[in-house]
Structure 1
Amino acid sequence: MNSAAFASGLPRTMHRELPAGPYAARHARQQTAGLLLAAHGRLCPEGVAADILLIVSELATNAYLHADPPYALTVSVDEGCAGVAVSDASAGIPDRPRNREALSSHGRGLKIIRGLGAELYVSRSGWGKQVIAVLTWQP
């Protein structure tokens, strides 16, 4: 399903299929930025928008690196809350965060998302899973 963001009122939700390759994260960021920019700052403060984009990027990157396609992104933003879900065709659950060296270039994505204050959930289905991050802020 490749539906557009709803045009009026809150919450704003979009669902996009993501390419099954190294451009998945870039595509996810661009689509999410479009949703946030279309609202002219009415959905969330600028700093929160940057956090949402980072969450989107980390989840899409994890899907590309650790799961099977197809991939899909769902983003929903309401007053004081955003949900980001990336779906994939793998049933495997993400590993618990391990202690990584500070300068390591891999394995810190979920820790970064938690560091932004987001809650993380995994929902399994018969065809794969969704990794979901929920970020809240004071409106």
Structure 2
Amino acid sequence: MDTAIASPARPRTVHHPLPSGPQAAGEARRSAARTLALHPVRCPQETACDILLIASELATNAVRHAMPPYALTISLDRGRAGICVSDGSLSLPQRGDGHGTDDTRGRGLQIVRALGADLFVSRSPRGKQVIAVITWRDG
């Protein structure tokens, strides 16, 4: 089942400032859902859910491990979505192992990778961007 019937003719990019604190993850999910609704791309429902989860995980990581300002940028194109969370820290994400049965942390980027996303980190003078790119078969 598709989330929409139309595909954009060119990439759509939407920028959402995110709040500091635990509400950032929920706001990232809501912002991603609004973006998918306003700029429909033809993607499987499962992929749309993955995009929301990726936005939430990246926002959670930023708030837990970096400093403000935080923002979510989503770029949608045919068969591809880029989900980027920027923050005010130059520190690169640390790879948590998240393997212990009682671990409740260190799994965010593993979850993003498990969803099939490619991950990239880009630094700027004001902080960094953690970018996940997820693709699907368009057509």
Greater shift, 105-114 or 29-38, is seen at 29-38
Identity across aligned pairs (percent)?
Answer: 54
User: Structure 1 residue 21 and structure 2 residue 5: aligned?
Assistant: no
Which residue pairs with 2:34 in the alignment? Answer: 34
TM-score for the superposition, normalised by structure 2: 0.87
Which residue pairs with 1:85 in the alignment? Answer: 84
Question: Partner of 2:35: helix, strand, or coil?
Answer: helix
Which residue pairs with 1:115 in the alignment? Answer: 114
User: In structure 2, what residue type is equivalent to 1:29?
Assistant: R
Q: Which runs of 4+ in 1 moved over 6 A?
A: none
Question: Partner of 1:91: helix, strand, or coil?
Answer: coil
Instruction: Give CA deviations for 1:49-75 in whole Å, capped at 9, x if unaligned.
Output: 000001000000000100000101100
User: In structure 2, what residue type is equivalent to 1:50?
Assistant: C
Whether the aligned pair in 1 keeps the contact of 2:98 and 2:104 (CA below 8 Å) is no
Runs of 5+ unmatched residues, structure 1? 1-7
The alpha-carbon deviation at position 38 of structure 1 amounts to: 2.9
RMSD: 1.5
Which residue pairs with 1:133 in the alignment? Answer: 132
Greater shift, 66-75 or 94-103, is seen at 94-103
Whether the aligned pair in 2 keeps the contact of 1:43 and 1:78 (CA below 8 Å) is no
TM-score for the superposition, normalised by structure 1: 0.87
Distance change in 2, residues 1:124/1:45 (3 Å):
same
Whether the aligned pair in 2 keeps the contact of 1:36 and 1:43 (CA below 8 Å) is no
Which residue pairs with 1:69 in the alignment? Answer: 68
- Cα distance in 1 for partners of 2:9, 2:38 equals 12
The alpha-carbon deviation at position 11 of structure 1 amounts to: 2.0
Residue correspondences, number: 131
The alpha-carbon deviation at position 39 of structure 1 amounts to: 4.3
- Cα distance in 1 for partners of 2:107, 2:22 equals 18
Question: Partner of 1:84: helix, strand, or coil?
Answer: strand
